[in-house]
Structure 1
């Protein structure tokens, strides 16, 4: 049984957590980059250079590793010491332990959500509890909660702001990076894929050429094993008629590895 795992994602700079976790268990992780990223720090820097705005911020939301990269590469280096210290000591809400660990590594000190928030819907619930009714007896007035700053990419889901807006919380979304699909992702995939490989889908973006190819009748991908990183991506795969063999319980490397290993034990994973 193959222990090759094709990860449909860009490899994280330095050491990718997925690479380490899978290699430690004698799997062979293979990365197929799907998108290119470009930082767009202008708008956020204009805001953060305003001391009054920075001090008034209630908290931040960071749900993407690409946002963390923009923070490291463009935002934090452009701030003076005072602004930087104010920012990294703000409460920051995030999804999944991987992004939480990246935020901790670059200096943020008050990170909430993380492992307890497997997706955006869960994170929004955590934030509502924290900000509005954290003592379970007194519901706070949303008017007393300052603006929440959500750092996003050009393409993003609106689950978090929609849920927060329903509770009348003020959320400002600021784009800090943009993404574009790579034109050669399918070529790259075809060069690497071997019959029986695990194929892990992290997000719908950039996957269409590969998934259409796998699904097509003329595809050489017969015994592929499709894996979803979480419930949102699982829903997308189900909607296009490609249900995954297994879905990771949490959007992080160890949970993904456990899901694949458990599926191997069941011996019901060849499509």
Structure 2
């Protein structure tokens, strides 16, 4: 059945390119009662690529840094790690810029590329000449699970006996290059490092809250506020990062405990979902706010399932 009503879903993120899995998923699902969803993007973060470090990635690719002939003074890596869509986009930009003058991905043909979720995997898969078999770990869902997966997979690529004296004399397993933002957790380098796999982190983008975020969100709230009465009187704000949480709560009038209590008493109209436990715990610990839904894994499918279950359980999913 084609849904006749749409629940606004405010995705507090920048729309991913060339396609956005969250937009596609929420545009296609509905509750059992026939309520569909209307995704709207409200960018929170401003991402600035670190050109100097992306140039270093380009130098590594051109000079045998990945599965190529070693050039003196160039450290060689055995694989790449991504846990951020923005890092992937910076990397893709390097490849696109070199496509006219360099053999397409010749230096990466056999290089494993480890990712933490489907969004990063999808973007990398869109690059010509990247084999799907190179992109690994999309099922893991978080940094710790990805680190454990890398540990089990990466060591199989170097099956020789890993005697301690050999490791001390010559790092038998090449290090991994982890392209990151300036704000990240260190769980992957810690887990792999404790198992004698070196992970070098290279910051390829910086992040800050967009100056226009609160005004942009207020404009969307005004627009959606006029349309939610016909779909149970609710809309969703989807939070993807601790950054911007305070501005979001302030815009929703949920930062002040008294205002929050008043909304709860009257029936809060804007429901909040987080992409995972890190952001949920940040809201709990710093603002005493409990999100309505926390995705079981950082994917559009898991987030959508959680929201649909919440609406149906609370009687807001239509009839």
Q: TM-score range by the shorter chain?
A: 0.7 to 0.9
- CA RMSD of the aligned region, Å? 2.8
* DSSP-derived class of the 2:280 partner: helix
What is the rounded CA distance, in whole Å, between the counterparts of 2:301 and 2:283 in structure 1? Answer: 22
Provide the rounded CA distance (Å) in 1 between the counterparts of 2:157 and 2:203: 30
TM-score, structure 2 normalization: 0.74
Given candidates 11, 24, 29, the residue that maps to 1:20 is 24
Tell me the equivalent position of 2:71. none
> What is the match of residue 234 of structure 1?
280
Runs of 5+ unmatched residues, structure 2: 30-35, 69-75, 226-232
Larger radius of gyration: 2
For 2:163 and 2:303, the matched residues in 1 are separated by 38
TM-score by length of 1: 0.87
Equivalence for 1:48: 61
1:96 and 1:118 in contact (8 A); partners too = yes
Does the C-alpha gap of structure 1 residues 183 and 4 become closer, same or farther in structure 2, counting only changes over 3 Å?
same
Q: Does 1:111 align with 2:135?
A: yes
Q: How many equivalent residue pairs?
A: 267
**Mapping 1:1-271, distance limit 5 Å:** 3-25=7-29, 26-40=36-50, 41-51=54-64, 55=68, 56-78=76-98, 80-82=101-103, 84-107=105-128, 108-109=130-131, 110-115=134-139, 117-132=140-155, 143-193=171-221, 194=225, 196-213=234-251, 214-216=254-256, 217-218=258-259, 222-240=268-286, 241-267=288-314
Report the CA distance shift for 1:102/1:68 in structure 2 as closer, same or farther (over 3 A): same
Measured against aligned partners, the alpha-carbon deviations of 1:162-216 in whole angstroms (never above 9, x if no partner) come to 2222222111111222222101211111121236321111111233211244322
Unaligned runs of 5+ in 1: none
User: Aligned-pair distance for 1:48?
Assistant: 2.5
